[in-house]
Amino acid sequence: MFTGIVTHIGRVRRVVPASRAGGDTRLEIEAGFDLASVPIGASIACAGCCLTVIEKGRGWFAVQASAETMGKTTLGDWQAGAKINLERPLKIGDELGGHIVAGHVDGVGRLVSRRGEGASIRLVFAAPRALGRFIASKGSVAVDGVSLTVNEVADKGKDTLFGVNVIPHTSKITTLGALRPGGGANLEIDMLARYGARLAEATGRTPGAGRGKAKRGGR
């Protein structure tokens, strides 16, 4: 479990492709933090994707990614030298500064535009339409592992466009400051939105249904 508050920018050290079709890929990542307290088997969010540490060396750790993970996230595009956001898992008692993030990527978005807005940067992403109903204005979304507040949402064709503001601090300590239009980003929708929508489906109701006048005698 994570919060979407990135603490370090790591660098891909080495990519070892799967030896067979459908096999796992080994990724070695240089970390900017002390790995002495990171045990084998620990989870680290890498660009928003929760991965398990299987080996570590001096200043780096290795993870294994399945074909499913490689195909459904941006990990399949990683090459040696690529910079990625890193976050260690939340501990009981830690401050929840962002929102609850599982590290389970729901899809890949694409940066459509970026522009200056005061001292901040306004980024507009295109998300797969299937994820659009989970993205709401003033709601939360994790973009490459960064917890962000959604400013506006609009459906357009097969995509859902949503905008976020990235303040100078976030731009500096994450990879979002270097992301350019056309670039891909891992997206994770808000967990509350996910379960809210599933509950609505299970009960045969749409969110917001049944908000008419209360029955007489009701509270």
3-state helix, strand, coil in the chain (%, to 5): 15, 40, 40
Tally of residues, the chain: 219
Could you identify the residue written with the tokens 């500096």? 172
Task: Count each helix (H run) and each strand (E run) in the chain, helices first.
Answer: 4, 12
Closest residue by Cα to residue 150 from 160, 162, 161: 162
The rounded distance, in Å, linking the Cα atoms of 172 and 29 is: 20
Distances (CA, A) of 54 to 16, 47, 51, 182, 216: 14, 18, 9, 32, 61
Residue 91 CB contacts under 8 Å (≥ 6 apart), including other chains: none
| Class of 8-87 in CATH | mainly beta
Distances (CA, A) of 40 to 44, 48, 62, 63: 11, 19, 10, 10
Residue 209: per-residue pLDDT = 47
Calculated CA dihedral for residues 95, 98, 101, 107, nearest 10 degrees: -160
Do strands 43-46 and 83-87 pair parallel, antiparallel, or not at all (unpaired)? antiparallel
Residues 114 and 122: beta-carbon distance below 8 Å: yes
Q: Locate CATH 2.40.30.20 in the chain.
A: 8-87, 107-203
pTM over 0.85: yes
- Whether domain 107-203 has CATH 3.40.50.2300: the reply is no
Do strands 60-65 and 49-57 pair parallel, antiparallel, or not at all (unpaired)? antiparallel
pLDDT tens track of the chain, all 219 residues?
Answer: 899 999 999 999 999 998 888 889 999 999 989 999 999 999 999 999 999 999 999 999 999 999 999 999 999 999 999 999 999 998 777 777 888 899 999 999 999 999 999 999 999 999 999 999 899 999 999 999 999 999 999 999 999 999 999 999 999 999 999 999 999 999 999 887 777 777 777 777 655 544 444 333 443
Residue 207: per-residue pLDDT = 52
Measured over the CA atoms of residue 56, residue 60, residue 66 and residue 69, the dihedral's sign is positive
